[in-house]
Amino acid sequence: MTAREFLEYAGWKGELEKGLAILGRYVGKGSDYYISFPSAELPAEFTESADEPAGFQEYAEVHSE
């Protein structure tokens, strides 16, 4: 699953770039990685986790301000 697809799956409603930056920090790639490569695949352990997308949604809520 790509970064862009994951944001759609997670129900991200904000600006795409902001969501990609938050996702990059959440995954540990840094805030610029997915902005530059929105079609990059997310790590399999992340996309296959039973805690996702809930974990990202909680993280984004705290870090989107």
d(CA 9, CA 29): 20
In the chain, the number of structural domains is 1
Residue 52 domain boundaries: 3-63
User: Each residue of 5-59: pLDDT tens digit?
Assistant: 999 999 999 999 999 999 999 999 999 999 999 999 999 988 889 999 999 999 9
Q: Residue 64: pLDDT above 90?
A: no
